[in-house]
Amino acid sequence: MDPIVRLTDLHKRFDALHVLKGVSLAVQPREVICLIGRSGSGKSTLLRSINFLEEPDAGAVEVDGIVVTPELDARVRRQRIRDIRLRTGMVFQDFNLFPHKSAIDNVIEGLLVVRRIPRPRAVQIGESFLRKVGLIDKRDEYPSRLSGGQKQRVAIARALAMEPKVMLFDEPTSALDPELIGEVVRVMEDLANDGMTMLVVTHEMSFARDAADRVIFMEDGVFVEEGPPEEIFTTPRDPRTQQFLQRYIRG
């Protein structure tokens, strides 16, 4: 099968800092990939390069057959970036819910504005996704009245409502109190079981172990080691991976 996401030799610099040093990756449809590594290893930058919240300096990003390279003509490039964003959903560490909109209005915002679906239909779709994340009873609450876990589940529903081909999760549980992590992880596991293609930057090793098809350990802007979770977590080959995972295996 053709990969749904293909990254080819991606480079990204922030001034003197070389954050991505030629990363390549092919993601198969329905695959769940967890990116692990220390903060500053480039895993978030890699994820954010896929929907162009960060613009790679060099290399190609391909999502669902749409290819974007830095060399493209500006207008063509902008259109293709938009097409890629319509095929990817993103979930952020800090939720980034729109505070001036209720849960349902957060979920349908993209449907109304980007997909231009009439409001009654959009509300139907939005409600079905709120139901999916178990928050239909919070339909009219504003984000300030939701717990962190609930906010993140609304944020997941908001991304899912756009019916993306790929979901990108940028440390979705890192801002949560420990007792709220479970409810978000459960929603993500359901999603993985439903066959969603997922790229997850995470420190939540239990999720990586249980739900990932492939785990990638990143350091200094490159992939150090990748493989199925049972392999990475039990018999990591690279000493850097071993050292990083020590805490999680023994702890």
Partner 1 sequence: MPQSRARAGIPFRYRIALVWAAIFACIIAFLSLIRLDLGFIGEWWAFIVYGAGNPDAWTVGIVATLYISLASILLAILLAFLGALGRLSKNPLAYGLATFYVSLVRGTPLLIQIFILFFGLPQINQQLNRLFPGFEQQFPFISSLLVLPALPTGILALGINYGAYMTEVFRAGIQSVGRGQVEAATALGMTPGQTMWRIVLPQAVRVVIPPIGNDFIAMTKDSALVSVIGVQELLWRSQKVGVQNFRSMETLLIAAAFYWIMTIVLQTVQSQIEKRLARSDR
Q: Which is nearer to partner 1, 132 or 214 (CB)?
A: 132
Encode burial over 192-209: b for 16+ CB neighbours within 10 A, e otherwise. Answer: beeebbbbbbbebbebbb
Q: Which is nearer to partner 1, 98 or 210 (CB)?
A: 98
Distance CA 158, CA 155 (A): 5
Strands 58-63 and 5-14: antiparallel
Query: Is there a contact between 155 and 176 (Cβ–Cβ < 8 Å)?
Result: no
Q: Which is nearer to partner 1, 93 or 128 (CB)?
A: 93
114 binds partner 1 per the rule CB under 8 A: yes
Q: Which is nearer to partner 1, 10 or 86 (CB)?
A: 86
Q: Among residues 10, 23, 34, 86, which is the contact residue for partner 1, using CB under 8 A? A: 86
Residues 147-166 that bind partner 1 (CB under 8 A): 155, 158-159, 162
In the complex, least distance from residue 142 CB atom to partner 1, rounded to whole angstroms:
5
Q: Which is nearer to partner 1, 92 or 207 (CB)?
A: 92
97 binds partner 1 per the rule CB under 8 A: yes
In the complex, least distance from residue 51 CB atom to partner 1, rounded to whole angstroms:
6
Which residues does 113 contact at the CB level (< 8 Å), separation at least 6?
none
125 binds partner 1 per the rule CB under 8 A: no
Question: For residue 85, which amino acid is it?
Answer: R
Q: Which is nearer to partner 1, 42 or 236 (CB)?
A: 42
Q: Among residues 17, 26, 76, 113, which is the contact residue for partner 1, using CB under 8 A? A: 113
89 binds partner 1 per the rule CB under 8 A: yes
Question: In angstroms, what CA-CA distances link 4 with 24, 164, 201?
Answer: 14, 12, 18
Quick one: which of 95, 89, 14 has its CA closest to 54? 14
Q: Among residues 37, 59, 110, 126, which is the contact residue for partner 1, using CB under 8 A? A: 110
> Residue 197: helix, strand or coil by DSSP?
strand
Residues touching partner 1, count (CB under 8 A): 27
Which residues does 92 contact at the CB level (< 8 Å), separation at least 6?
155, 170, 172
Which residues does 251 contact at the CB level (< 8 Å), separation at least 6?
none
Q: Among residues 9, 40, 98, 182, which is the contact residue for partner 1, using CB under 8 A? A: 98
> Which residues of the chain form contacts with partner 1 (CB under 8 A)?
51, 53, 82, 85-86, 88-90, 92, 94, 96-100, 109-110, 113-114, 142-145, 155, 158-159, 162
